[in-house]
Amino acid sequence: MGRGAEGEPVNVEDLKRIQTDCAKKVIKEDDFDSIETVGGMDLTFERIDQNPTRAWASLVVIDLKTLKTVYNLVVEDTVTFPYIPTFLAFREMPLLLKLYEKAKVKPDVYFIDGQGVAHPRGCGIASHFGVETGEVSVGVAKTKLFGYYREPDIRRGSYSYLKYGDRIIGAAVRTREGSAPVFVSTGHRISLKTAIDLVLKTSRYRIPEPTRLAHNLLQTVRRKSLF
C-alpha cells in the first residue's frame, strides 16, 4: 500500500480492480468514420520526485495530411497522487482530463505518451483516457513496460509484435531508420494495425509529431514558469 498526498494510504488492490474493469471496456477495433486530425498529449512535472508537485499537460492537434499544428493548449495544476509503477493513470489522468475538458478543438484520435493495452492489467493510461472520455486513443511509449518482442528490422516502417504469452498486445515500431523503436498499442476504439499506420504517417523523427510537438511545447512553458 502506497501513500498519497498528506500521507493518505493508497489501496493498490482497489486500483488493480479499476484497471481490470477498464480493460474489459476497451474496444480494440476501428470504431470511427474517418481521421483528419491527430492530437498528442504529454505531461511534465516541476519535481517528479516530490508529491504533491506542480505539473503541466499539453495538447497539440495536427492535420493528418500536412502534419501542421492546427491547435494547442497547456494547462497547469497540482498533482497529488504518488508515482507507483503500472499505476501512472491515477497520477496523470486528472490533469489530462482537465486539459481535455478545456480544449476547444477535439482531434479525431489522441496519441498518449504511455501504454494502452500493453499493460499488466490491460489498461494503461492511453486506454484509461479513451475509456473515460469515449475518445479514440493510441498508446505511444518510448520504452517497453510489459511483454516481449523481437527487435524489428532497422528500416523505417518495420515493426514486430509485442506479445504476452500467445496474445499480441502491441508493436515495437521503427519510425526512423536506425533509431530505437517506439511501442504502440491500442488505447480505445482503434485496431493495432490502424494505430501503427497512424504512428508511421505522423512520424518525421523517432517520436510522432503530435506527441513530439506536445513535449516541446511543454518544455518551453515549463522553463518560462520556473525562471
Average confidence (pLDDT) over 82-106: 96
Non-local CB neighbours of 148 within 8 Å, separated by 6+ positions:
162, 163, 164
What CATH superfamily classification does 2-226 receive?
archaeoglobus fulgidus dsm 4304 superfamily (3.30.2170.10)
- pLDDT in the model for residue 127: 98
Nearest-CA neighbor of 93 among 53, 129, 124, 120? 129
pLDDT digits (tens, 9 = 90+) for 198-216: 999 999 999 999 999 999 9
pLDDT of 7 reads: 46
Q: Would you state the pLDDT for residue 49?
A: 78
Enclosing H/E stretch for 131: helix 125-133
| pLDDT computed for residue 47 by the predictor | 83
Dist. CA 201–CA 175, nearest whole Å: 9
**Average pLDDT, rounded, for the chain:** 94
Q: Which residue has the higher pLDDT, 83 or 61?
A: 61
Note the pTM of the prediction, 2 decimals: 0.94
pLDDT digits (tens, 9 = 90+) for 125-159: 999 999 999 999 999 999 999 999 999 999 999 99
The string of pLDDT tens digits covering residues 25-72 is 999 999 999 999 999 999 999 887 788 999 999 999 999 999 999 999
Q: Enumerate helices (H) and strands (E) in the chain, giving the number of each.
A: 5, 10
Span 96-116, average pLDDT:
98
Distance CA 142, CA 153 (A): 17
Residue 227 has pLDDT above 70, yes or no: no
pLDDT tier, 2 (very low <50, low <70, confident <90, very high otherwise):
very low
